[in-house]
A and B are shown apart, each in its own frame.
Chain A
Amino acid sequence: MARMAMVIDLNKCVGCYACTIACIRENIARQKKNGVEMPDHIFQYARTRPIDFPLEGSVRVLGFPSNTPFFIQCQQCENPPCVAACPTGASFKTKDGVVLVDRNKCIGCRACMIACPYGVRTMYLGRLSSPPPNPYGLVPRYPDKCTFCYHRKNSPEGWVPACVEACAFGARIFGDLDDPNSEVSRIIRNGNAVRLREDLGTKPKFFYILPNK
């Protein structure tokens, strides 16, 4: 068993969008014979998205300066409301603690999209003609969200998500919470990271190191 988690260090993030672009390239954009095919309004479907300020709610509650770049994506909840709401078991949690969608079982009821308190699930209803970039890439008419780049799990280079790989400032850290020697475990142990809306009991496995800590 593993509990894969990600941390964004807001002290290091400069808001360069490299993660967003890398994710789009890895999971959303499709290769066509003569170019690239993407959903309209591509940034709406990016799996990691920047949030503009000023911002209501819990992020402001976190209390960091309003010019801090701040990205949000699926929080890979340990207690995911999206999975609980799904009537068919299409939304499920893997043994690694990653929440995925089994498209063969998905009836498209959108209950998972409503149930997600972080609003990170999207559904593209337009048409795309070429095949998805990987088995977990965006497919029209199915709920979509960050998969922690699950297709890279068995990669010979190790499981490194595209956004983590793309971040030139080392602001994104990915690893196993069940491995006490992993960097994410160390960060969490040190008490430097916070999670969004802990009060909801969703137990996200996505953490933020607040600025100046």
Chain B
Amino acid sequence: MSIRAFIAFIVLLVVSLALLGYGIKLGLPAKESLDISAMPWGILVPGYVFFASIAVGASIIDSIFTIYGYKGSSNTLREDIKYSTYFSLISLVPAWTLILLDLINPEHGIWLIRGFHDVSRIAWNLVLYTLLAITLLVELVYLIRRTDIDTIKNIKKAELAIAIAVLVSAIALDSNLSQAFGSLVSVPAWYGSHLVAFFLASAVLLGAAGQWLFITIVRGFKGTLRERKDYYSSLAGKMYLTILPIFWLFMFWDIVAAWYHKPTWNYYKELLWGAHAPIFWGIEVVIGLIVPVIASIVALEKRSITAAIVASIALLIAGFTSKYDLLILGQLARLHSEGFMTLIGSGFLAAHNVMHYHPATSEVLILAGAFIEWPMLLLAGILALPLGADEKPRHLYIFK
């Protein structure tokens, strides 16, 4: 596996760098950028939120083992914990890639620190990302160096403290991230503290799906999936059937609440039966709810790994779409909202047809590059780090 995995890693690395590099080189050509005053945030922002949510959700899922001491059948979670922690940590990287490349003037980035503006949610995002990355890194190093994580009794106080720090940072990050949008009164569909609950539920769903898929693929390659097939299929089924109703409860709550607030209702009208409805019903509802529910039941009843894989992939696709809808359509809907008048009034919208957002070529390339960067980095970890349960530190001094 090693040589083939290494070749796969090199291929992914080259493709990812090529896509990102070409996307950066293309930039936003003026003709494609006409929309920017009406639609300041393009598809890279939902992409960034998608990966950040996965990292946060996966960290929260990890706490089932690290804090609550649930080991899974035959210690399975113990065997997987290094993989899952690495997964959480590395999912932050494509999030950073996307948000960094979304900045128009990243060369002034130092001002995020020098000019730290404590009332800006975006400024706090940087702090909380750093905190989550550091706590996850410390946790990973700790887990790699430690080889006797057998029972909850053996979990030392330091380990528990690190795990709690990871959980608190993850929840703080996601809450703050949601409020980077939720504190902006100018986009009615985002505005309000309800976004925290919505973001957290969605993060746990995405984190669970991404992490489960990653660990299952690793086990598949290592040949240890077959013996744990029953456990993994039922784990996926139970997780998804537990989290999905919570996520959809928040979605339903948002829709019902929006009914009483005309500007927010503009967004939901567009989503439920406007031009965007096929995407909502086709992807968010069918692929994001119906398919995973059926597949999860099959996974649970028949112990089917295939069904669990279908559910996980469906959740990831729908999760990305849900972020896209919320953030892109939310901006489009604000153009209809009361008080947001300039661009509408100047005839600009009609002239440039900005009510439909089309990602620029460079945005598509950068997004694709980040999506390939993700498995590339996951593979790099498998190749270079002792993430398996019985693997001992080999190379890096800090792990010895």
Most chain B beta carbons < 10 A, residue from A106, A117, A197: A117
A43 to B164, CA, bound (A): 54
A94 within 8 A of B: no
Chain B residues near A104: list those with CB within 8 A.
Answer: 108, 111
On whether the beta carbons of A107 and B33 are closer than 8 Å, the reply is no
Determine if B106 and A57 form an interchain contact, defined as CB atoms under 8 angstroms apart: no
CB within 8 Å for A52 and B186 given contacts A88-B112, A114-B40: no
Q: Please give the distance in Å from B188's CB to the nearest CB on chain A.
A: 10
Q: Mark B122-144, 1 if CB is under 8 A from A, else 0.
A: 11011000000000000000000
Docked pose: A104 CA to B109 CA in angstroms: 10
Specify which chain B residues have a CB less than 8 angstroms from the CB of A85 in the assembled complex: 120-122, 183-184
**Measured between alpha carbons, how far is A59 from B345 in the docked complex, in Å?**
11
Contact between A105 and B340, CB atoms less than 8 A apart: no
Contact B33 A86 (CB under 8 A): no
Q: CB-nearest residue of chain B relative to A40?
A: B30
Set of chain A residues within 8 Å of B322, measured between Cβ atoms: none
A32-89, CB < 8 A from B: 40-41, 43-45, 49-52, 55-59, 61, 70, 72, 81, 84-89
Expressed in whole angstroms, the Cα–Cα distance for A44 and B350 within the complex equals 12
A59, A107, A122: the one within 8 Å of B341 (CB) = A59
Docked Cα-Cα span, A28 to B267, in Å, equals: 34
Q: Which residue of B lies closest to A43 (CB)?
A: B346
* Inter-chain contacts of B34 with A (CB < 8 A): 41, 44
Does A84 lie within 8 Å of B105, measured CB to CB? no
**Could you say which residues of chain A place their CB within 8 Å of the CB of B336?**
56
Chain A, residue nearest B347 (CB): A52
Query: Taking the nearest CB of chain A, how far is it from the CB of B44, in angstroms?
Result: 11
Interface core residue of A88, A115, A121 (most chain B CB under 10 Å): A88
When C-beta atoms are compared, the residue in chain B nearest to A121 turns out to be B37
For residue B152, CB closer than 8 A to chain A, the reply is no
Stretch binding the partner chain, chosen from A6-14, A123-131, A174-182: A123-131
Residues of B within 8 A of A141 (CB): 104-105
Q: Which residues of B contact A122 (CB under 8 A)?
A: 37
A-contacting residues, B182-236, CB 8 Å: 183-187
Chain A proximity of B184: nearest CB distance (Å): 5
Does A207 sit at the interface, judged by CB under 8 A?
no
A84 nearest in chain B by CB position: B119
Which residues from chain A contact B120 at a C-beta distance below 8 Å?
84-87, 111
A118 within 8 A of B: yes
Contact B119 A123 (CB under 8 A): no
A124 to chain B, nearest CB (A): 8
Inter-subunit contact B106/A107 (CB<8 Å): yes
Residue of B nearest to A48 (CB): B342
A-side contacts of B38, CB under 8 Å: 119
* Complex: A116 Cα to B334 Cα, angstroms: 11
Closest residue of B by beta carbon distance from A196 = B339
Q: How far is the CA of A106 from the CA of B111 in the complex (A)?
A: 8
Give bound CA distance, A90 to B110, whole Å.
12
Q: Are B341 and A57 in contact (CB under 8 A)?
A: yes
Q: Kindly report which residue of chain B lies nearest to residue A114, judged by CB atoms.
A: B40
Q: Which residues of A from 158 to 195 have beta carbons under 8 Å from B?
A: none
A residues near B342, Cβ cutoff 8 Å: 49, 51, 72, 118-120
- What are 5 A-B pairs at a CB distance below 8 A? A44-B34, A44-B348, A107-B106, A108-B108, A141-B104
Kindly list the 7 A-B residue pairs having the minimum CB-CB distance in the complex, ordered from nearest: A108-B104, A51-B345, A57-B338, A110-B40, A89-B115, A125-B33, A87-B123
Q: Residues on A close to B: CB < 8 A? A: 40-41, 43-45, 49-52, 55-59, 61, 70, 72, 81, 84-90, 104-111, 113-123, 125-127, 141-142, 196-197, 200
Beyond the given A107-B109, A113-B40, please list 12 additional residue pairs across the A-B interface where CB-CB is below 8 A.
A41-B352, A49-B342, A50-B346, A51-B342, A87-B116, A89-B117, A90-B108, A90-B115, A108-B108, A119-B342, A122-B37, A200-B339
